[in-house]
């Protein structure tokens, strides 16, 4: 009777029941495939920076600092839209991403000012050709606006600050661009080659870089321990800028800016303070 009622997979089934058996097997296989489709994907870990504990300053304090620093006016040299993007608040999987500036990264251009501006103004639809900074500081200390602060500049591709990095979509490398502000010094003439060092940067560059760094710190609550270099955050082992950067020359200008703006709380150069 079991062979006639269609219960169970038995060798003594009738020809008409063979088709029913095959259909049942196929339905189980399809169900198994659907279960596989619903398996949880393996997601890259979220390695975010903890809150710095430094709140942004109010508008009055920021404007006072801007006035005391007497920085040169920004020159408008906005990059083409393919060379920067929005700061992302969600990743591909819908997880919340930190997207407000938490780091300041120092760079150098290697090429001259005109070439750098033209490079960023040129459309680059391919991801591996896209590049930009938020600001350039030329040899005279003038500031050139390339990307608005609220946008994501493409200054550091494969990068991390300590363990902190973000992978926003499948197949992407980790990057800090979503939480970084990028500022680059225009290299001297003898810095156009891929040498280990060059003659360095001008006093005007150090002065205006220090002032810009402090202004960003006040605007976004970024301590000095989160001011870094492209060389330090690069994980592709191919970036070494800014070469010949002298922190002692920067520090003198920075301390002067801090005193002018009365913002000594951001000068936490020793970790743990």
Query: Model confidence over 29-72: pLDDT tens digits?
Result: 665 555 445 556 688 888 999 999 999 999 999 999 999 999 98
Averaged pLDDT for residues 241-270: 94
CA distance 88 to 192: 34
pTM for the whole structure? 0.84
Over residues 226-236, the pLDDT tens digits come to 999 999 999 99
Q: Kindly report the CA angle at 69 between 60 and 263, in degrees rounded to 5?
A: 60
Specify the 3-state DSSP secondary structure of 145. strand
The structure tokens 């900074």 sit at 133
Write down the H helix ranges in the chain. Answer: 2-5, 15-37, 59-69, 113-121, 203-220, 230-233, 247-261
Averaged pLDDT for residues 108-115: 97
Q: Which two tokens stand for residue 235?
A: 């994980």
Q: Which two tokens stand for residue 254?
A: 């920075």
- pLDDT attached to residue 45: 86
Question: Among 85, 208, 218, 92, which Cα is nearest to 150's?
Answer: 85
- pLDDT attached to residue 26: 65
Specify the 3-state DSSP secondary structure of 147. coil
State the chain's mean pLDDT as an integer.
Answer: 88
Q: How many helices and strands in the chain, by DSSP H and E?
A: 7, 8
8 Å CB contact between 105 and 156: yes
- pLDDT attached to residue 42: 81
- pLDDT attached to residue 193: 85
Query: What is each CA distance from 187 to 43, 136, 237, in whole angstroms?
Result: 40, 11, 20
CA distance 215 to 221: 10
Give the distance, in angstroms, between the CA of residue 183 and the centroid of all CA atoms in the same chain. 13
Taking 50 as the threshold, does the pLDDT of residue 12 lie above it? Answer: no
Cis preceding-peptide flag for 101 (omega within 30 of 0): no
CATH architecture of the domain with residue range 59-266: 3-Layer(aba) Sandwich (3.40)
Residue 56 Rama label (left phi>0; alpha psi -120 to 50; beta): beta
Taking 60 as the threshold, does the pLDDT of residue 14 lie above it? Answer: no
Name the phi and psi angles at 125, rounded to 5.
Answer: -70, -25
If one compares 81 and 28, the residue with the highest pLDDT of the two is 81
Over residues 77-110, the pLDDT tens digits come to 999 999 999 999 999 999 999 999 999 999 999 9
8 Å CB contact between 72 and 208: yes
Taking 80 as the threshold, does the pLDDT of residue 9 lie above it? Answer: no
Over residues 153-205, the pLDDT tens digits come to 999 999 999 999 999 999 889 999 999 999 999 999 999 988 999 999 999 99
Domain locations along the chain: 11-40, 59-266
Over residues 141-152, the pLDDT tens digits come to 999 999 999 999
Burial of 50 (0-12, 13-18, 19+ CB in 10 A): exposed
Strand segments (E) across 125-247: 135-137, 143-145, 151-153, 180-185, 227-229
């Amino acid at each position: 009777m079991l062979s006639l009622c269609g219960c169970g997979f038995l060798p003594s089934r009738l020809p008409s029941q063979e088709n029913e058996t095959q259909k049942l097997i196929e339905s189980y296989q399809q169900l198994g495939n659907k279960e596989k489709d619903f398996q949880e994907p393996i997601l890259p870990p979220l390695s975010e920076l903890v809150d710095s504990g430094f709140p942004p300053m109010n508008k009055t304090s920021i404007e006072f600092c801007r006035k005391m620093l007497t920085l040169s006016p920004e020159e408008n040299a906005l990059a083409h839209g393919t060379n920067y993007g929005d700061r992302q608040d969600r990743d591909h999987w819908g997880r919340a991403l930190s997207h407000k500036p938490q780091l300041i990264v120092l760079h150098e251009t290697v090429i001259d000012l005109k070439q750098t501006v033209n490079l960023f103004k040129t459309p680059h639809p391919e991801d591996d050709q896209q590049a930009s900074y938020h600001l350039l500081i030329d040899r005279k200390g003038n500031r050139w606006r390339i990307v608005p602060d609220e946008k994501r500049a493409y200054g550091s591709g494969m990068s991390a600050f300590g363990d902190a990095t973000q992978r926003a979509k499948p197949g992407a490398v980790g990057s800090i661009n979503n939480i970084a502000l990028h500022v680059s010094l225009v290299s001297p003439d003898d810095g156009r080659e891929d040498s280990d060092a060059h003659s360095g940067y001008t006093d005007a560059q150090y002065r205006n870089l220090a002032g810009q760094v402090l202004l960003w710190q006040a605007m976004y609550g970024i301590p000095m321990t989160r001011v870094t270099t492209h060389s330090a955050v690069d994980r592709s082992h191919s970036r070494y800028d800014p070469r010949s950067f002298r922190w002692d020359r920067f520090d003198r200008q920075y301390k002067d800016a801090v005193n002018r703006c009365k913002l000594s709380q951001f000068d936490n150069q020793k970790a743990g303070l």
